[in-house]
Structure 1
Amino acid sequence: MRGALLISLGLALASCGQDPDPAEQAAEDKKIVEMVRAANDAPPPIEEVIPQAILYPDIEKADLYGASCAYAPGTSMGARVIAREADAYMKIDGDMVRFAADPGARELAGRTRSLYNGRRFSLRLQIDGEGQEDPNASESTIYQGTIWLRDRWDRNVYTGSGTVSCGV
């Protein structure tokens, strides 16, 4: 019995020095490559974004005058998005971020679009129902709407619903 154990131990040690079968090595290499690809393709953790109110100095600096729709979440009067025919703006981390209108997206009130694209984010807009004349502004219409800010992996990083004011 002891002799059989020594022989099997000797055979096991002898097989350690041999080159692996090429088919097995290729399968193992392929498995490792797929694990590395999966690790590299995995998106980073979601970072929630809290857009800031766009104030009058921001509007002046970005020259955001003319026909547009301003989205303000909840009961806030501070616009978080100003959307125009060709572009839209949000204030993120103190910087005015510009988004270009997607010409293939659905047209909304004020000739705005339902989708705008930026370098780091995409912006989706929705206007619900019929608008009402704004009692505080003669050439404005008020709607209810929602905004979605998505990162480059198309994950929601901000959602807000509230008042949308469209006008000149």
Structure 2
Amino acid sequence: MRLPLIVCLSAALASCGDELSEAERAERDRAVVERVREVNEAAPPLVEVVPEPILYPDMEAHDLFGLACSYAPGTSMGARVIAREADAFVKLDGDVIRFAADPGSRELPAKSRSLYNGREYSLRLDIIEKEAEAETETGVAFFEGTVWLRDRWDRVIYQGTGAVNCGA
């Protein structure tokens, strides 16, 4: 019976000396909330990625045939991005990732778009149309283009410039 009384008296005495006014308590709570907000909004370290070539088996598995623009960096012939009217595809870490076209973005050749959005990344495309080579008898046009891949914090994690061929 004595122990509960001692515990209650100790707790009462401990709380007497740390009495905060309403303004002090509000300021302390505001500071804690601000620290939590800063921690939650902080972006993790930047992780750059390099898209892998989209190979024929990938194209078959995702039905990537038809009217589209294919982007290949530098002098490579392996497409790293395939952009179509409604979607675009990039291969990262062995997985082909689908992006949805932003219908409000600028239309590029082959009905592709300049902006595509995914769950973890966004994709921006640019084609320099004035330097296009003449279309061949197959209906494919060749351009120079740039691709930007951004993470969900809108940081560029990949940028590549190279050949773009658009057509069926």
Give the TM-score normalised by the residue count of structure 1. 0.86
Identity of aligned residues (%): 57
Change (3 A) 1:145 1:103: same
Worse overlay, 86-95 or 22-31 = 22-31
CA distance in 1, matches of 2:129, 2:42: 39
Runs of 4+ with deviation above 3 angstroms: none
Aligned residues: 152
Correspondence for 1:121: 121
Correspondence 1:48 to 2:48: yes
CA distance in 1, matches of 2:23, 2:89: 56
TM-superposition CA deviations, 1:98-133 (whole Å, max 9, x none): 011111000001110000111111100000132113
CA distance in 2, matches of 1:116, 1:44: 23
Correspondence for 1:163: 163
Correspondence for 2:134: 133
CA distance in 1, matches of 2:90, 2:102: 16
Correspondence for 2:11: none
SS at match of 1:99: strand
CA distance in 1, matches of 2:59, 2:125: 20
CA RMSD, 1 decimal: 1.5
CA distance in 1, matches of 2:24, 2:157: 44
Correspondence for 2:26: 26
2:21 aligned partner, one-letter code:
D
Correspondence for 2:80: 80
SS at match of 2:159: strand
TM-superposition CA deviations, 1:32-81 (whole Å, max 9, x none): 11111111111111111111001111111111111110000111111000
1:146 aligned partner, one-letter code:
T
SS at match of 1:164: strand
Give structure 2 stretches of 5+ with no counterpart.
1-15
CA distance in 1, matches of 2:64, 2:28: 58
